[in-house]
Amino acid sequence: MSAYAWLPEFLERLKADNVLLEDESVGVAAGITMLLLEAEDWGRAAAQAQKYGLRWTGGWADEIGEEIIVNACLVHHSDLLLLRARLPLGSPVLPSHTPYYPGADRMERHTQDMYGVVFSDHPDPRRWARHHAWGENEYPLRRDFPIAGTRHYPMRTDDNYRFLQTQGAGVYEIPVGPVHAGIIEPGHFRFQAVGEQVLNLEQRLGYVHKGIEKIAMGRDAQGVARLAARVSGDSTVAHTWAACMAMEQAAGIEVPERANWLRAIMCERERIANHLGDIGAICNDVAFAFANYQFSRLRESWQRVSQQVFGHRFMMDCVVPGGVAHDEGVGYLEQLRVGLEPLRHEMHELMPILDDNSSLEDRLATTGFLSAEIAARFGSTGYVGKASGQDIDARRDRRYSPYDRLDVRVPVFTDGDVEARMHVRSEEILVSLDLLEQLLRDIPEGPIRTEWRAPQEGAEGIGVVDGWRGEILTYVRFDAAGRVRRFFPRDPSWFTWPALEQLIHGNIVPDFPVCNKSVNGSYSGHDL
């Protein structure tokens, strides 16, 4: 299907549902097709989009003048569609998309807490991102709210959050966190169970809210790129790439071909390192320590090479606006190429050991089942979605450079359990090794960076990159001084954390750690 060939039919469906669309309602914003909607049509548009099969992939707000601009980005195959509504600053009220797209829940509540937008029919209006750091009528992302905040006395404890209750004979509650026994970041998990069977799980996140969206305001492009690298440290390459892609789009800058190939090399190395660590950690959570030793060894060796070649184990700050920070040269690229076959050999040796271990099979197979229907409803991508039948990969679907010249194989499973999520990771490692072989062999010569030029006032951009956890979407808007006025990085974890609440139903409490590890949502990537 050619680009946006489906759009006229979709617009006719909106009109049939009495959605007001005038000539100026359809335009272009952030480099993609945009529909400007009246506030009262916002919910009906989501209802029709859901029926038509569009995937909801992100929502955020922005303050421009005396208005709050609310955005929702949807996907149809490879096409992005931006829905936009303008609300008065004094009374920003809008219908919710959550009744049609459950994955919109937390981003709408985030917008509610940060901007004061009221989603009139939202099924769960409880605070999500703010906890008790700010007062009832204080909205941290509004222009008049200071970066340093307004309070200097100790924050009141968050002890009155009304968790959902499950009633019945024998039902008891287990609170876990927010402080955990390991080195992971804080998150609270509230279980209701009977015996060992989990009836319900509810999460409370936001404990590591860093104010990233606020402190991005007024930064130059280089400063926002460095900030994006720290949204979620294990996804530093992918997040920075998405942010730079959005800023480059806004500035009308064309990135040199060699720079995009180097970005892809780093992004595939990032994917492999994290998948290696996760496979070992999943096995370790069910006491199969051998796999943890072996895959931790492989990950450590892999990251040491990244340190030698790119100057940082996680390749932080190597992607910059306009290209990459430095060129590794022929010798270093050969060093990367030499390491591919040994890892491929190790994977072919180790995975059959895991697959043939009956004790491991007993703990992973059928555990933490997530159906294809629920995965689709919550918009899960990455290994969580692919293990549950969601054939989504931005490298193939969006075909951004250099993947438009590569054959990206997407492993998809339908079992939807912990074992399937582990197998997606192992298959993606092999796919990434094949891609790296092509990238390192065919990388073009030429410059690695285009000189940055400030965009015009109001210039917008959206970047979409497939990170190791799944699809990352980043939005930017520039001000009159050529600095970033709005920055919203959407990590895949916004959609996979809610999936964890669903897939734990019916499992036993001792299986929660391995279910959690198989999802491995980013606290930091969510808690902006």
Q: What is the CATH number of the domain that holds 400?
A: 1.10.645.10
- Inside any domain, residue 44: yes
Distance CA(138)–CA(517), nearest Å, equals 36
Residue 407 covered by a domain:
yes
Domain endpoint, select from 100, 119, 138: 119
Q: Are residues 370 and 506 in the same domain?
A: yes
Cα distances from 167 to residues 126, 156, 164, 194, 200, in angstroms, run: 21, 29, 10, 11, 11
Higher per-residue confidence, 208 vs 468: 468
- At residue 2 the predicted structure's pLDDT band, cuts being 50, 70 and 90, is low
Picking from 119, 140, 158, the residue at the C-terminal end of a domain is: 119
Mean pLDDT in residue range 254-263: 96
- Given CA atoms 139, 140, 141, 146 in this order, what sign does their dihedral have? positive
- Which CATH number characterizes residue 13's domain? 3.30.460.80
Q: What is the pLDDT of residue 147?
A: 85
Q: How many CB atoms lie within 10 A of CB 219?
A: 16
Tell me: the pLDDT tens digits for 72-120? Answer: 999 998 999 999 999 999 999 999 999 999 999 999 999 999 999 999 9
Cis previous bond, 444, omega within 30: no
| b/e sequence 460-472, b meaning 16+ C-beta within 10 Å | bbbbbbbbbbbbb
State residue 185's pLDDT score.
Answer: 87
Q: Is the pLDDT confidence value at 412 over 60?
A: yes
pLDDT of 153 > 70? The answer is no
Of 226, 254, 265, nearest to 447 (Cα)? 254
What confidence tens digit (pLDDT) does each residue in 348-363 have? 999 999 999 999 999 9
Residue 159: count of CB within 10 angstroms of its CB: 6
Whether 243 and 97 share a structural domain:
no
The H-assigned helical ranges of 356-455 are 358-364, 372-377, 382-386, 394-397, 418-442
pLDDT at 383 over 90: yes
pLDDT above 60: residue 265: yes
Specify the number of domains making up the chain: 2
Residue after which a domain boundary falls, among 119, 150, 165: 119
Task: Say if residue 191's pLDDT is above 90.
Answer: yes
Percentage of the chain surpassing pLDDT 70? 98
The pLDDT value recorded for residue 107 is 96
More confident call, 248 vs 185: 248
| Number of Cβ within a 10 Å radius of residue 412 | 18
- pLDDT surpassing 90 at residue 410: yes
| Residue 44, pLDDT above cutoff 70 | yes
Same domain, 257 and 115: no
pLDDT greater than 90 at residue 510: yes
Q: What integer pLDDT is reported at residue 183 of this predicted model? A: 77
- What pLDDT sits at residue 320? 97
CA dihedral for 95, 98, 101, 107, sign (positive or negative)? positive
Q: Answer yes or no: is pLDDT of 1 > 60.
A: no
Q: What is the pLDDT of residue 136?
A: 80
- Asked whether residue 472 is domain-assigned, the answer is yes
Same domain, 315 and 422: yes
- Residue at 204 is within a domain: no
In a domain, 163, yes or no: no
Cα(385)–Cα(518) distance, rounded to whole angstroms?
Answer: 12
CA distance 353 to 356: 5
Q: Count Cβ atoms below 10 Å from residue 459 Cβ, excluding itself.
A: 20
Query: What pLDDT score was predicted for residue 149?
Result: 78
State pLDDT tens for residues 120-130.
999 998 888 87
pLDDT computed for residue 155 by the predictor: 67
Same domain assignment for residues 236 and 112: no
3-class DSSP assignment, residue 51 = helix
**Structural tokens at position 424:** 């997606």
Residues 111 and 241 grouped into a single domain: no
Q: Are both 218 and 80 inside the same structural domain?
A: no
Residue 195 belongs to a domain: no
Q: Which domain holds residue 96?
A: 7-119
At residue 166, the pLDDT reads 81
Q: What is the DSSP string of 117-171?
A: -EETT-S--S--S-TTSS-TT--TTSTTS-TT-S--SPPPP----------STTE
Does residue 237 form part of some domain? yes
Specify the amino acid at residue 32.
Answer: I
Q: Is the domain of 352 the same as that of 492? A: yes
The rounded distance, in Å, linking the Cα atoms of 396 and 510 is 38
Q: Write down the mean pLDDT value for the chain.
A: 93
* Closest to 306 measured CA to CA, from 332, 283, 327, 344: 332
Asked if residue 479 and residue 372 are part of one domain, the reply reads yes
pTM of the entire predicted model = 0.95
pLDDT tens readout for residues 443-452? 999 999 999 9
| Residue whose token pair is 């000189």 | 451
Please report whether residue 342 resides in a domain: yes
